[in-house]
Structure 1
Amino acid sequence: MAVKVLVVDDSSFFRRRVSEIINQDPQLTVIDTAQNGREAVDKAIALRPDVITMDIEMPVLDGISAVREIMAKCPTPILMFSSLTHEGARSTLDALDAGALDFLPKKFEDIARDKDEAVRLLQQRVKEIARKRFLMSARPQPVASAPVAKAASGAASLRERPLLAERPALAERPQPVASFKRSGKSYQLVAIGTSTGGPVALQNVLTKLPLDFPHPILLIQHMPATFTAAFAARLNGLCQIGVKEAQDGDVLKPGHAYLAPGGKQMLLEGRGAGARLRIIDGNDKVNYKPCVDITFASAAKTYGDKVLAIVLTGMGADGRDGARLLKEQGATIWAQDEASCVVYGMPQAVAKAGIASESLPLDRVAQRILVELGR
């Protein structure tokens, strides 16, 4: 049976264009369209689509408010369309906050090298998030919460509301559970790679780490260049550890996470306390910028077996080859489990290759990290 899609946008041209692309795939069918958020909510309730594509800026009821109402009344996988601007980035993060699963740039030429590739990508994203429709259920809506108090030297100037509706009190360190046992290995670096579903997954993990986290953390999230600064700032305002968009020459510090900038590649040079980041343009033939494989490979060369690498939710197989290089050096590799992934692509690639030593539910990744590090 074809995946039923509701297309929502105030532009008749864009509704028609998206509908034509979706209907080209025999596994997908557009059952209706809506021109504003209020229509979207009403039709979502009446038609029960498998997936909704949603614009952000619309009359009557905006896309973010519509997502929030749909998630409260009839939870449905939602794919947002966003402009590649700083404001678009903030709005998209708000949409993920409200419950949307994924997003794509509204200008298709920004996501693909040609029209055919853009068509395939949109169709693939719709089919991937449709697989989550049977697992979705109503969840509490976000509530205003006080920002995390940081030491004066690391205080964030920008305070954002959380992406997760339900998150633990950030001042409380998660308690290790009996089923987790420390391996006894020593580490100098934690590296996390992710893609589709990553913004929410990263927040889930990072907000549970304590201020005195003992190692630097590298974050590789597939995300447009205009989004990573806003995302890093939001995480920095929510986490006890410091989070920043990585810059060329950054010296790695314990208790700090460095988010690879969109459109660039993040490498390492040096070792231990003298390690620095190199941010470069990289090869245009590489599919992803940033690329998990490239950063993982650099970590393998620089830190060898002293790396704890984790592959979270994401489409495709980025991270598998880099994780293999890390494994060959004796590093530890974990993957997110299928049930808690938005898209079980990247973690599955690592697990199927026999590279990951553990498969973990998202809500226990932070606990497992702390146990492994003896915290």
Structure 2
Amino acid sequence: MNSSPIRVLIVDDSATVRKILSDALRNAAGIEVVGTAPDPYVAREKILALKPDVLTLDIEMPRMDGLTFLKKLMEYKPMPVIMISSLGQASCHATMEAFRLGAVDVLAKPHGPYSVGDLANTLADKVRSAAQANPRAFAPSRTSAVSASQPAAGKAVASSLPAFASRRLIAIGASTGGPQTIAHIVSQFPADMPPVVITQHMPPVFTAHFAERMKKTCMMDVKEAQDGDELRPGRILIAPGDFHMTLQRSAAGARVRIAGGPLVCFSRPSVDVMFASVAQTYAEQAIGVLLTGMGSDGARGMLQMRQAGATTIAQDEATSIVFGMPREAIRMGAATSVLPLDQIASNVLTQLTQQIARKNQHAR
């Protein structure tokens, strides 16, 4: 096993931010900041000279913006990139575009009286996760969302999802590399798909922009979930950053509950929390999908889903940007299927139509 430290290059036009990020990683085990750069032109030379394993990249910089540099980098020298973004609307939208171009993660830019201690663990974890990323999965071509104007893979079965399907649920969890992977899948879902709930590890504010971005490339309605939002066909609800999302079902219908609480698997929102709630409320009427991400969040919850009778799908290693979360679910026996990214959406639709067919048979 390679014991060399993960080599990090920090690219940011702010000397203050460069120092904060460098200080945050200074004492992180197994990580070495090999250099910093104030703009992409300096960064290009330092990438060639220092050969970093991971890059942190600012969105807004002089001479060349972060998106333009990222696009060139992924074309000529693909490598794991963590975007450092402010919480402004323009920067958040640019960050969503950065995911499409191949960035693997995002960190909110430190500002004001920011504590290096507050940042250290989060940034170090993101660097370690990014360093495990699969280089073959960086290219945006595979995971770019399908245009809403294109025929989606699920379109052909839209008419075979009757009202019965509204009592079903699709639950999706992801972390590192998840935004582009999720977009690829849901862009293939028909407009009358059963309700979909998504937990993606992402900071506050960014989840709302993630929802807005997906809405443009998806036939379903997409929104960042609010407490009490109704689960209904044709709707995707995304857990807001820094809040857990659970489900509540009654004779009056099904809704999501949004609340704080302790970190679970070092995460909030947590996929485990959502999946465990799905197991309790939907059981065999649910389909769970666990995608790319570092760590184990979602594995135990997926096992609970499978034990409750749900269909469960884990993304395979070859197409995962980081295989940690799916690997753990597979190791625990939580996944009923292990599939490449390009087969997940069609398999979900196949499972739904088969469930409908079995239900109709039992009704006769």
What is the TM-score normalised by the length of structure 2? 0.83
> SS at 1:38's partner residue?
helix
* Unaligned 5+ runs, structure 2: 157-164, 355-364
Residue type at the aligned position of 1:61: M
* 2:103 counterpart residue number: 100
* 1:212 counterpart residue number: 192
Do structure 1's residue 343 and structure 2's residue 322 form an aligned pair?
A: yes
Whole-Å separation in 2 of the counterparts to 1:242 and 1:262: 19
Whole-Å separation in 2 of the counterparts to 1:335 and 1:272: 32
Whole-Å separation in 1 of the counterparts to 2:342 and 2:252: 30
* 1:356 counterpart residue number: 335
Q: Is the 8 A contact 2:24 2:116 kept in 1?
A: no
Displacement of 1:356: 0.9
Displacement of 1:277: 2.0
* 1:297 counterpart residue number: 276
* Unaligned 5+ runs, structure 1: 142-162, 177-184
Taking only the aligned residue pairs, the percentage that are identical comes to 38
Picking from 181, 203, 211, the partner of 1:201 is 181
Taking a change above 3 Å as real, the CA distance of residues 217 and 333 of structure 1, as seen in their structure-2 partners, is same
> SS at 1:323's partner residue?
helix
Residue type at the aligned position of 1:301: Q
Q: Is the 8 A contact 1:186 1:306 kept in 2?
A: no
* 1:35 counterpart residue number: 38
Picking from 62, 66, 80, the partner of 2:65 is 62
Picking from 147, 170, 177, the partner of 1:190 is 170
Matches within 5 A, 1:1-375: 1-25=4-28, 27-45=30-48, 47-107=50-110, 118-132=119-133, 134-135=135-136, 164=144, 170-173=150-153, 188-213=168-193, 215-271=194-250, 274-283=253-262, 287-374=266-353
Q: Is the 8 A contact 2:6 2:128 kept in 1?
A: yes
Q: Is the 8 A contact 2:134 2:321 kept in 1?
A: no
Q: Is the 8 A contact 2:172 2:199 kept in 1?
A: yes
Name the one with the larger helix percent: 2
Whole-Å separation in 2 of the counterparts to 1:263 and 1:134: 29
Q: Is the 8 A contact 2:246 2:273 kept in 1?
A: yes
RMSD: 3.2
Displacement of 1:284: 6.8
> SS at 1:135's partner residue?
helix
Whole-Å separation in 2 of the counterparts to 1:28 and 1:293: 28
> SS at 1:225's partner residue?
coil
> SS at 2:246's partner residue?
strand
Whole-Å separation in 1 of the counterparts to 2:118 and 2:283: 37
Q: Is the 8 A contact 1:192 1:312 kept in 2?
A: yes
Displacement of 1:312: 1.0
* 1:153 counterpart residue number: none
Displacement of 1:300: 1.7
Taking a change above 3 Å as real, the CA distance of residues 283 and 110 of structure 1, as seen in their structure-2 partners, is farther
Q: Is the 8 A contact 2:200 2:239 kept in 1?
A: yes
Q: Is the 8 A contact 2:17 2:110 kept in 1?
A: no
Q: Is the 8 A contact 2:189 2:219 kept in 1?
A: yes
> SS at 2:96's partner residue?
helix
Taking a change above 3 Å as real, the CA distance of residues 272 and 326 of structure 1, as seen in their structure-2 partners, is farther
Q: Is the 8 A contact 1:296 1:319 kept in 2?
A: yes
C-alpha deviations, 1:246-291, integer Å up to 9, x for none? 2222222112111112222222222587112222334578843222
Q: Which moved more, 1:321-330 or 1:308-317?
A: 321-330
Q: Is the 8 A contact 2:106 2:202 kept in 1?
A: no
Whole-Å separation in 1 of the counterparts to 2:113 and 2:219: 34
Q: Is the 8 A contact 2:59 2:94 kept in 1?
A: yes
Displacement of 1:34: 1.3
What is the TM-score normalised by the length of structure 1? 0.81
Whole-Å separation in 2 of the counterparts to 1:16 and 1:46: 21
> SS at 1:80's partner residue?
strand
> SS at 2:199's partner residue?
strand
Displacement of 1:20: 4.1
